[in-house]
Structure 1
Amino acid sequence: MALKQRFNIEPNFSMASMTDVIFLLLIFFMITSTIVVPNSIKVLLPKSQQQAQAKPLTRVTIDKNLNFYVANGNETERQVPFEAITPFLKSAYSADPNIFVALYADEEVPYREIVRVLDIANQNKFKMVLMTRPK
């Protein structure tokens, strides 16, 4: 008690260091969230010179075993039968008519499977982008 009176020590807590830590964590998570690749299925895309400039929110993926996957936005891909692709894309299009649909197809996928998905987009007037990797 005498020490407290003599040096006029009062307990206080500075929030400055806590604010700095929270700010740094916020920056870290903002930067790492932009690095996350939405396509988590292992697909070896074909190479091309031009890359898609649009950021599609809706994805259709065909792996080398001819399994079909769909996802919208930040959802994780879920496996669906081919017949479920059309209703999925129609529901995504009804939510946002300006969507771009990205088609991720492994380079070992037969061309006829890619054309089947492109036909769905063509019949329903969806804007489709064929995703590739840079050369």
Structure 2
Amino acid sequence: MELKRRNRVNAEFSMASMTDIIFLLLIFFMITSSAISQSAIDVKLPKADATETSAQDPSTVTIKEDGTYYINDKAVPKENLESYLVNVLKNETTPTFTIRADGNTKHKDVVFVMEIAEKHKYNLAIATTQE
């Protein structure tokens, strides 16, 4: 006597849950990613391998190849840079700014700005472009 099994394994796979997960991940990455800040001053940023990004900072110190400094697209002489930067960041709870230096900028110019950040305990980020 031949007995038939009543329990059969369903070989179908539902993709509905997979598409829900992909959709949620897409929304998450769109919300948490930050917009790339555009500036009127044209500098060629160095390349970086890291893909880590951070939130957009309200203040930017740009250093051109010839050693001229700009704070939020306004030219500032080197001797007045520290006082102007302190004045710009004085009302922020966590003072943070981004250094945008041309790839051919002298190292001492970038270190000069980093020393100002260290002296006043400012957070800073260095802008690069992805390869």
**Under TM normalisation by the shorter chain, which class is it?**
0.5 to 0.7
1:29-44 aligned within 5 A? 37-44=37-44
Confirm or deny: 8 A CA contact 1:47 1:133 kept in the other structure: yes
CA RMSD of aligned residues (A): 1.9
Write the distance in 2 (CA, Å) between the matches of 1:93 and 1:57.
9
Structure-2 residue corresponding to 1:95: 91
Q: Which runs of 4+ in 1 moved over 3 A?
A: 35-38
TM-score by length of 2: 0.67
Confirm or deny: 8 A CA contact 2:63 2:102 kept in the other structure: yes
Write the distance in 2 (CA, Å) between the matches of 1:131 and 1:36.
10
TM-score by length of 1: 0.65
Q: Does 1:86 align with 2:82?
A: yes
Aligned residue pairs, count: 97
Structure-1 residue corresponding to 2:108: 112
Write the distance in 2 (CA, Å) between the matches of 1:84 and 1:104.
18
Shift in alpha-carbon separation, 1:36–1:110, aligned structure 2, 3 A: closer
Write the distance in 1 (CA, Å) between the matches of 2:120 and 2:36.
30
Percent of counterpart pairs with the same letter? 23
Gaps of at least 5 residues in structure 2 are 1-34
